[in-house]
Structure 1
Amino acid sequence: MSAPAALHPSRIHPSSIVEDGAEIGRNVEIGPFCHIGPKVRLGDNVRLMSHVVIDGCTTLGAGCVVFPNAVLGCAPQNIHYKGEDTELLIGQGCTIREGVTMHPGMPSFGGTTTVGDNSMFLAYSHVAHDCHVGSNVILSNNVMLAGHVTIGDRVIMGGGAAVHQFTRVGHHAFIGGLAAVSNDVIPYGMLNGNPGVLMGLNIIGMQRSGFDKPAIHAVRRAFKAIFDPASPIRENVARLRAQTDNNAAVADIIAFIDAESERALSSPARGQRG
């Protein structure tokens, strides 16, 4: 540890191992049979219940709670990883339930996996190397994120959903249980099925986040315009982009589609590509 335990008003169970070099914040509680590696940093008021393993260059923000058998910061599941000091950065106020696994990044892709604030990771969900997960996100039980996945703020993913590597899920999107997400999902989108199909908009999520009726109606109109089957999606987006009265929510969708991506765009029709 960075300083003798006596200098920290923290509670560390005698059966746990906190290796020399680990930085432990104030009022941290480390329950029985945990193992904290030498390059780990735990923020103030972190609580590790029991049998938690945190290794590598992992930072856990203030107020996070980690349930039993979670494993954070161990080597990525990638045959090209050779033990480099890459990072896993987890924000403040996250709840990490039983058996959750999160891995640091790969050196050839920036070397960092990031998780925002106040997110919840339910039992046995997985965040692979080089993922970037936003704030106020919920990954339900057994959700699987492959490497290099980007999840926007306030995304909710149902149990057992799986996201293909390099795929982006826009903010405020909703992913149904057992969905297979192999293409990008627009902000505010709602995707279900295997293969995943864009079923509409996450209107309830927008309402809960405080969007007013004009913004919601604008997004509905934009959705219909973008996915109008009469012409290709890119042409529809170009016409929408040319309009001068687009509000911020619609602009977010356009910017998401315009951004470079490894994946195609999820749409309401099976097999249709952006």
Structure 2
Amino acid sequence: MIAASARIHPLSVVEDGAVIGENVAVGPFCHVGPNVVLGDEVELLTHVVVTGRTTIGRGTRIFPSAVIGGDPQSIHHGGEDTTLTVGERNTIREGVTMNTGTAGGGGKTVVGDENLFLAYSHIAHDCILGNNIILSNNVMLAGHVTVEDRAILGGGSAVHQFARVGRHAFVGGLSAVAYDVIPYGMLNGNPGILGGINVVGMSRSGMDKATIHRVRRAFKEIFEGEGSIRNNAAAIREEYADCVPAMHILDFIAVDSDRALSSPNRGKA
């Protein structure tokens, strides 16, 4: 079904079965598969492939040579009917690739709203991404990665499968993210070392200085205390119960994860 207001260039192919919303613009040399849903006001500039069982949310713009909804790059994928869901008002730049999920990983890849994916960044199968995230050029997310709201990943950084990157975290360019990165954390290097708290990002988000100082103090108590990181985090929960950002960190640490925690010491804890 193609809305009457949609503009489809005659040199593009929209297969039967695709759902094309109001005011969608499909430029020349694009290919839209039969199981694709393009929400209202989506724009495919040129030479864009949207395939698989893929849904693209309202107002998302996709630039040339992006391939969205391709099969997962997994030896375990047997052609099962899996999905990719991309939210609203995302900007997907040149050469970006996003894959559908795998049956063994939950069957879905999910991308939130208002994210910026710079050229040639890659989102693998079964990744779950929040909102207002920036992936710089050539960022690579392996399968089953979780990236929370407002995280920023620098150019050429790579995230190991099943790793988590917490909200407002900052990952430096060319860094190797082998282990989970706490919310508001800053990680750099290969192997990635947790260098402290993302004070600049916290300030830009409107967080007041008193709160930032409390989060920095919590960070020191967690990672420089005498006990293990998880025990240190558990011990200070009551003290920081009224500090939302600190609780984001403590809750993140408390969750069972397939990966260890990045730390200031040798990269993991």
Over 6 Å off, 4+ runs = none
Structure 1 unmatched runs, 5+: none
Q: In the alignment, residue 77 of structure 1 is paired with which amino acid?
A: Q
**How far did residue 79 of structure 1 move?**
1.3
- Determine the C-alpha separation between the residues in 2 that align with 1:128 and 1:272: 23
State how 1:1-274 maps to structure 2 within 5 Å: 2-3=1-2, 7-228=3-224, 230-243=226-239, 245-273=241-269
- Determine the C-alpha separation between the residues in 1 that align with 2:231 and 2:107: 37
- Determine the C-alpha separation between the residues in 2 that align with 1:15 and 1:234: 57
**How far did residue 175 of structure 1 move?**
0.3
**How far did residue 74 of structure 1 move?**
1.0
Structure 2 unmatched runs, 5+: none
**How far did residue 245 of structure 1 move?**
4.7
Q: In the alignment, residue 88 of structure 2 is paired with which amino acid?
A: Q
Q: TM-score, normalised by structure 2?
A: 0.97
Q: In the alignment, residue 151 of structure 1 is paired with which amino acid?
A: V
**How far did residue 218 of structure 1 move?**
1.2
- Determine the C-alpha separation between the residues in 2 that align with 1:64 and 1:272: 37
Q: In the alignment, residue 13 of structure 2 is paired with which amino acid?
A: I
> How many pairs were matched up?
269
**How far did residue 214 of structure 1 move?**
2.2
- Determine the C-alpha separation between the residues in 1 that align with 2:105 and 2:152: 26
Q: Any idea what SS the aligned residue of 2:187 has? A: strand
**How far did residue 210 of structure 1 move?**
1.6
Q: Any idea what SS the aligned residue of 1:226 has? A: helix
1:168-189, Cα deviation, whole Å (9 max, x unpaired): 0000000000000000000000
**How far did residue 235 of structure 1 move?**
2.4
**How far did residue 231 of structure 1 move?**
2.9
**How far did residue 240 of structure 1 move?**
1.0
1:12-45, Cα deviation, whole Å (9 max, x unpaired): 1111000001000011110111000001000111
- Structure 2 CA distance for partners of 1:70 and 1:271, relative to 1, 3 Å: closer
